[in-house]
Amino acid sequence: MKQGRYTRATVVDHIVPHRGDPKLFWDRTNWQSLCKPCHDRKTMTEDRYPVYHY
């Protein structure tokens, strides 16, 4: 919608990357639906150098 078109969502995206945090992973308020191309673009820019916490 931000790009002025509607595309069926196929992926659940984490708004804030969970980076291994199970609480953040399962937090439904941290989810948004995106199409795969938008998800991949967002993930590539935000998660390029991830730091994981276990």
For CA atoms 36, 41, 46, 51, the dihedral sign is positive
Domain boundaries, the chain: 11-46
Number of other CB atoms surrounding residue 22 within 10 Å:
9
pTM (2 d.p.): 0.72
**Torsional sign, CA 53, 51, 40, 27:** positive
One digit per residue, pLDDT tens: the chain, 54 residues?
677 878 888 999 999 988 889 999 999 999 999 999 989 998 888 877 766 666
Question: Which spans in 1-54 are helix H?
Answer: 22-25, 36-46
What's the confidence (pLDDT) of residue 52?
Answer: 66
Q: Which amino acid is at 36?
A: K
Tell me what pLDDT residue 6 has.
82
